[in-house]
Amino acid sequence: MAKPNDLVQGTLDLLILKTISLEPKHGWAIAKRIQQISGEVLQVQQGSLYPALHRLEQKAWIKAKWKETETGRQAKFYSLTAAGRAQLEKEAENWSRLSAAINLVVETT
Amino acid sequence: MLWARRFWLKLRSLFRHDRNAQRLDDEIQFHLDQQIAENLSAGMSREEARYAAMRAFGNPTFLKEETRDTWGWTWLEQIAQDLRFGLRALRRKPGFSILVILALALGIGVNTTVFTALDATAFRPLPVEEPDLIVRVIRWIPQGYGGTLFSLPEYVYYRDHNDVFLGLAADSCCYNVVYGGQPAANAVTMHQSALLTARLVSENYFEVLGINAVLGRTFLPEEGQSEKSNPVAVLSYQFWQQRVNSDPNILGKSLILNATHFTVVGIAPRDFIGSGDPPAVPDVWIPLAMQRYIVPGSQWMNNTNTYNVRMVGQLQPGTALKRAQPVLTVLAPQLAHTPIAKDQTASTTHLTVKRASFLDFGGTGAEFAVSVTLALAAAGMVLLVACASRRRGAIPRYVVSSVRS
């Protein structure tokens, strides 16, 4: 099973961008979502999301807003900026190319 | 505009650092609480739920620090932290601290002085009207570099046969002359009688360099013509100011050097410290025609194998260094085949020109270069020692961090 350290930094960025591309989410929800969608294969160490989130925020690819959750508590919700959406497209494309290439190598040899 | 937004974010995080740190705590606390709540609803005990949430999260202290690092001002905080630590260390060991501070002060001071001195002299172009047009002439012989000293007949030949220079002047190094003599009504009176330094220059020297006298005049063409007939002197501004109290009536007065009367005809500008190599402002400039009285016992005028003058030329405006080169390359072999050619002159393969600066290697300039190099090396060593003692005083940062956290 992939541990967080095995995740390449760029890959975590891609996962985050993709996860919040549909609707704003707070950190915990992002972690949960990644685990869920990947069928529990990607066990992101939850805390390691935060340096990544703040780095993406500083790059202005995502923006954050404090909002109330359904339980009435304040939480920091992250959403994509226009630049972030463009970055997501770029990284997703890179990833497709890379994984296709790796597949090709693995299946042919 | 992404960079502007990024810059704004960074700037904001600088001023809201404490608040952001608080909010990061809140954010992470919220995360842990969510996870604990989920674990509880999955049937764990309170203790188990908390423990599992912490395990899934990782080390909060470390992760918070890593997150704060992304805000981009960590280097600033680290400097501040190093400063605070440094100050504490200094207070603890005042004796050692004073030593370190003295070593650093000395190191920095010596370096600053050396570089300032160098910058003011060696690296600066000559203090003349158009420094870009002033070049020094260098001799090349079959063995390579032939120095910058020429015989007087060589100088005269090059002066009269080239068409690349607006003017070609000659200057000698510095000669000590004895001041003194009979007190006369019109003699220059100085507070101390002493040895003065004189430089012998061609009569067109000031003209070629574009220097005008601040008082009186520089040399006239006829003052370079024959020996003995022109005992005149131009004083340096510093000499005039310091040794004769800026005497306003000095022009026409007599200065007795090596028992010969020289008439003071002018004062050079304050900034003009000569074209010296090494840079040293002389007390007086004397026409080369008077050489026998300044350097008794030798005769330069028609002597083809005493090499005592350097040549400084003013290029015609618009003449690149490159264009001056071929002309001098042709002239040197021509001169080598004339009867006046002996020794160095005969074996000169070509001449080159380089933009005149004070750091010219060759002749006395070589000594100057050596002393400059030594001074720089010494200054460097002092700074090195200063830095080394500073290092010994410092405890690596990670030790401090681990104590702190």
B231: preceding bond cis by omega (within 30 degrees) = no
Do B23 and A54 make contact, defined as CB atoms within 8 angstroms? no
pLDDT recorded at residue B302: 80
Instruction: Say what percent of chain B tops pLDDT 70.
Output: 81
Q: What is the Cα gyration radius of chain B?
A: 36
Q: Which residue has the higher pLDDT, B189 or B47?
A: B47
* Segment A63-98, tens digit of pLDDT: 999 999 888 889 999 999 999 999 999 989 988 888
- Report the candidate in B22, B75, B10 with the shortest Cα–Cα distance to residue A58: B10
- The token duo for B290 is 């008077």
The rounded mean pLDDT for chain B is: 79
Boundaries of domain holding A8: 4-108
* pLDDT class of A53 with cuts at 50, 70, 90: very high
Q: pTM score > 0.90 for this model?
A: no
Contacts with A69 (C-beta within 8 Å, 6 or more apart), sequence order: A26, A75
pLDDT higher than 70, residue B111? yes
Please give the average per-residue pLDDT across B188-209, as a whole number.
81
* Segment B303-355, tens digit of pLDDT: 887 888 889 888 887 777 777 777 777 787 777 777 766 676 677 878 888 77
pLDDT higher than 70, residue A4? no
- The token duo for B133 is 């047009």
pLDDT higher than 50, residue B361? no
- A4 contact residues in B (CB cutoff 8 A): 58
Q: Which of A19-23, A52-56, B17-21 has the lowest mean pLDDT?
A: B17-21
Contacts with A55 (C-beta within 8 Å, 6 or more apart), sequence order: B70
pLDDT recorded at residue B265: 93
- The token duo for B150 is 């020429």
pLDDT recorded at residue B183: 53
pLDDT recorded at residue B363: 44
Nearest beta carbon to residue A47 from set B33, B58, B71:
B58
pLDDT higher than 60, residue B366? no
Kindly identify which residue of chain A lies nearest to residue B35, measuring between CA atoms: A28
Count of the separate structural domains present in chain A: 1
Q: Assess A76–B contact: CB distance below 8 Å, yes or no.
A: yes
**Under DSSP, is residue B29 helix (H, G, I), strand (E, B) or coil?**
helix
Do B58 and A45 make contact, defined as CB atoms within 8 angstroms? yes
Please give the average per-residue pLDDT across B108-129, as a whole number.
72
Continuous segment of H or E residues that includes residue B165: strand B165-178
Nearest beta carbon to residue B57 from set A47, A54, A60:
A47
Chain B residues 66-105 within an 8 A CB cutoff of chain A: 66-67, 69-72
Q: Which of A7-11, B70-74, B234-238, B244-248 has the lowest mean pLDDT?
A: A7-11
Neighbours of B27 (CB within 10 A): 23
pLDDT recorded at residue B398: 40
Q: Assess B298–A contact: CB distance below 8 Å, yes or no.
A: no
The C-alpha atoms of residue B20 and residue B12 are separated, in whole angstroms, by 10
CATH number of the domain residue A51 falls in: 1.10.10.10
Domain boundaries, chain B: 2-72, 133-355
Please give the average per-residue pLDDT across B101-118, as a whole number.
80
Q: How close B9 gets to chain A, by Cα (Å)? A: 6
pLDDT recorded at residue A3: 43
Helices (H) and strands (E) in chain B, counts: 14, 11
* pLDDT class of B399 with cuts at 50, 70, 90: very low
Nearest beta carbon to residue B35 from set A28, A54, A55:
A28
* Segment B69-107, tens digit of pLDDT: 888 766 677 788 888 888 888 888 888 888 878 878 887
- The token duo for B350 is 């070509």
Q: Assess A50–B contact: CB distance below 8 Å, yes or no.
A: yes
ipTM: 0.86
pLDDT recorded at residue B400: 38
* pLDDT class of B133 with cuts at 50, 70, 90: confident
